[in-house]
Amino acid sequence: MWCMSASIPSPAMENGKTTEQHQAQESCSFLQESSHEECPSFWAQGQPPVILISLDGFRAEYLSRFALENTEHRGEFAAATIRCLAERGVSSPYMMPSYPTITFPNHYAIVTGLYPESHGIIGNHIYTDGTDPKWWQNGEPVWTTVRRQGKISATYFWPGSDVKFTEEEQRSPNYFFRYNKTTSFRQRVDQVLEWMDLPADKRPALTTLYFEEPDSTGHKAGPNTANVTEKVTIVDRQIRRLIDGLIARNIANCVNLIIVSDHGMADSPPGKQLVDLEKYVPDIQQSTLTFLGPVTSIRPLNETQEEEDRIGEALSCKDPHMRVFNKWELPYRMHSVRSRRIPNLMLDMDLGWRAVIKKEAWSGGGAHGWDNVYLDMQAIFVAHGPSFKNQEVVRPFENIQLYNLICHLVNVTPAENNGTWGALHHLLIDPPTLLVDTDQEFPDMPPILRKLVDTREETHKPSACAYVNHQETGKTSPAMEIEMKMTEERENELFIAHAPLGIPLVFPTEPSQSNVSNDPNHVLLVNEDYLTGFDVELGIPLWTAYTISGNATNNINDGYWIEDPRLDQNHTGSCQRLSNIVRRNEVAYTHLFPKEFATQKVDAWLDTNLLEVPSGISHFVETMTDLLAEASISRGPLNVISGPTRHRPASIFYVVTACKVDGTVGEWNHTTCPAEYRDLQAFLLPIGRWKYQSACTSDRNFIAYNVASLKDVEQVTGFQFFPDLPMEDKLSLLSRTTLGSALVLDPKRY
């Protein structure tokens, strides 16, 4: 189900928000404004060190809780220190974890900037020794980046930091401890302070500190318990001890402090909300290697397609709280495909539900691992220090973005990662200049096809669209050709209307010494209702861009496909391409620019607007059109860019933007809309049918499930969208999460 998650509400204060803010200000007096000038002389010449703290399983909602009534902290927030750091520094309503929302994959994502499919740590349990270096070779953790560039790094318990690498590899931190859960929190904090006492040439530029609470108690008792609230207070007061120690050393304003968690926590009581896989696959325990729980993967011992299908089909649509996928069908946003370590069969469970085999040994009250669009799975982010802004609340972002930020703070060059350089620079008081290579050449806009080729009925060449239409039609009439002619002035007006921030451009993925050149087969077609990028060699549309508003009421549904008269005999149109292949009954011809939005019939039925899709999923495209129409009514004018992708599995992408109207300021259009008011939602809808789930998934759930980020769409398509936007505004869009918008529909699950 798709909606908001139900979390514990914050207890009401007697005098409302004003009293709450007043109390917070009073309790935060121990923090002073951060500045480099307040650092003692022996720190003044150095880069402010970074202390990165992880509170395992700290759900974003925990920050709103109050301490237990029967404790010395009665009347205070359970996480009073963290809230003070947030108020005097930078915070986000939540930070989005990577999928799956479990400990090892997310801790390693934070320090490498890589999704689990890229860094290879896809679970908490490894078949053999988890400290064997072979499992941890992918990616470069930030403590390695720091050490290899001549600086000091230290870790006090962070997954992956105590792996047994050779000293020559320099992958281990300079200082680290083997994980020991019995080590007291006080001892860990004291050691970090001792590291801060070291002389500059031995002092860590980066230190990580890990607490396994409130995760451990959340598992045992459940997140909605006093036990967890107590642990929140305990870890929070340890952070206060750390800050007090920094204050005592007169270096509290010399350290950049970052507090995060790896994931959230949800109720999952024992013996309830279970799906027994053995009920549907009786031999599953003997025939597979299965990791069970909130996120379940199944690897058949006999890894054949027949065996995978046998198990997948047996589980398909059997329980409404479980979905079964071949991993290649999982939404691109999960980034859970490109690793041999990820089994082919994956189960997606509703929040709170777990997959089991007959019985389970589970005795706890809370768990995590579910889809990262559940609000209860969201993590926290708070930062405070001389480099960070004060009293700043920023949009949520993915945890993979932290690696680049930390590298900047300690002045090292990041290794290759999945984050976007500059995505979090808006958190900083003095962000680095986003350097633009003045020698870099950018591709020009593809040429516009304007000349109308003679396609009147007296022309001897038969219409290629006759094959598609099943009738001898498909030639444009002289009247239609006259209708399609337009002045350059009108073309410019249509570019502003349909591509207000520029058309998608293909940029080279690798630096090149040669001049950037456009693909000569890519052309632009300007229509009254939409713009199209078209490949005249392959005969397929690359993208279409259009703007729709709620007052458009069109009814151009009946018609037949027409050869685009702007294509000459050396070009391949969609009709010509399709006439050369055997038509399959399972293929449907659809309109990339929806005919429902057309004001002119000739625009909608041009074969340069034709896209073939499997007939079994064409209804998803129709539902998407309905959703766009609904959104254009409720949200005002929408700009839409959509087209086919060529990655596996093939998809149709949608990038939808609108400008949020603020009545106190005035209305903006798509061109003038400020970055903070620009709303964006993107989707990657698989063209192929879901192998095991298509029969029991509604169209709207299918679309919501395949929500994507703009960064994902650029990665898949090779396009760079909105080239006319200032770089800072574009970075704002690239750093947004899939939960950042409900423009077309709400992607949150519960």
Instruction: Tell me if 490 is assigned to some domain.
Output: yes
Domain tally for the chain? 3
* Beta-carbon count within 10 A of 115 CB: 26
Contacts of 735 (CB under 8 A, 6+ apart): 395, 397, 398, 401, 420, 423, 424, 711
Task: Give the pTM.
Answer: 0.91
Return the minimum-mean-pLDDT range out of 20-34, 72-86, 140-154, 546-560. 20-34
Query: Rounded to an integer, what distance in angstroms lies between the CA atom of residue 625 and that of residue 302?
Result: 43
Query: Rounded to an integer, what distance in angstroms lies between the CA atom of residue 705 and that of residue 539?
Result: 30
The phi, psi pair for 163, rounded to 5°, reads: -70, 145
DSSP per residue, 555-593: -------B--TT--TTS--HHHHHHTS---TTEEEEESS
654 with 594, same domain?
yes
Domain at 87, CATH number:
3.40.720.10
Instruction: Tell me if 711 is assigned to some domain.
Output: yes
How wide is the angle at C-alpha 467 spanned by C-alphas 465 and 469, nearest 5°? 65
520 with 613, same domain?
yes
**HSE of 210 in the Cβ direction (CA atoms, 13 Å)?**
29
8 Å CB contact between 208 and 111: yes
Nearest to 40 by CA among 258, 205, 246, 256: 246
Contacts of 630 (CB under 8 A, 6+ apart): none
pLDDT band at 510 (very low <50, low <70, confident <90, very high): low
Q: For 526-541, what is each residue's pLDDT tens digit?
A: 999 999 999 999 899 9
Query: Which pairing describes strands 638-644 and 540-548: parallel, antiparallel, or unpaired?
Result: antiparallel
Domain at 353, CATH number:
3.30.1360.180
693 with 573, same domain?
yes
Residues with a known catalytic role: 103
Q: For 734-749, what is each residue's pLDDT tens digit?
A: 999 999 999 999 998 8
What 3 state SS string does 269-315 have?
Answer: CCCCCEEEHHHCCCCHHHHEEEECECEEEEEECCCCHHHHHHHHHHH
**HSE of 80 in the Cβ direction (CA atoms, 13 Å)?**
27
234 with 312, same domain?
no
Query: Rounded to an integer, what distance in angstroms lies between the CA atom of residue 215 and that of residue 364?
Result: 11
Residue that the structure tokens 């039609």 belong to: 473
Instruction: Tell me if 9 is assigned to some domain.
Output: no
Answer with the one of 359, 390, 415 that is the final residue of a domain: 359
Instruction: Tell me if 99 is assigned to some domain.
Output: yes
* Beta-carbon count within 10 A of 390 CB: 13
707 with 592, same domain?
yes
599 with 483, same domain?
yes
180 with 295, same domain?
no
Radius of gyration of the chain (CA): 28
- Average confidence (pLDDT) over 33-55: 75
571 with 695, same domain?
yes
Return the minimum-mean-pLDDT range out of 155-159, 219-223, 232-236, 597-601. 597-601
Instruction: Tell me if 368 is assigned to some domain.
Output: no
416 with 302, same domain?
no
* Beta-carbon count within 10 A of 317 CB: 15
8 Å CB contact between 321 and 354: no
Instruction: Tell me if 5 is assigned to some domain.
Output: no
Q: For 690-713, what is each residue's pLDDT tens digit?
A: 888 877 889 999 999 999 999 999
8 Å CB contact between 382 and 85: yes
Residue type at 3?
C
Nearest to 602 by CA among 457, 482, 469: 482
Structure tokens at 39: 């650092």
Instruction: Tell me if 723 is assigned to some domain.
Output: yes
What separation in angstroms does the CA of 137 have from each of 101, 155, 175, 371? 21, 18, 20, 26
8 Å CB contact between 393 and 24: no
Instruction: Tell me if 447 is assigned to some domain.
Output: no
- Average confidence (pLDDT) over 20-33: 62
52 with 187, same domain?
yes
Query: Cα-Cα-Cα-Cα dihedral of 232, 238, 242, 244, to 10°?
Result: 100
State the pLDDT at residue 472.
Answer: 60
250 with 294, same domain?
no
Return the minimum-mean-pLDDT range out of 7-11, 76-80, 265-269, 525-529. 7-11
489 with 598, same domain?
yes
In terms of residue numbers, what domain contains 303? 285-359
How wide is the angle at C-alpha 21 spanned by C-alphas 17 and 22, nearest 5°? 115
Domain at 533, CATH number:
3.40.570.10
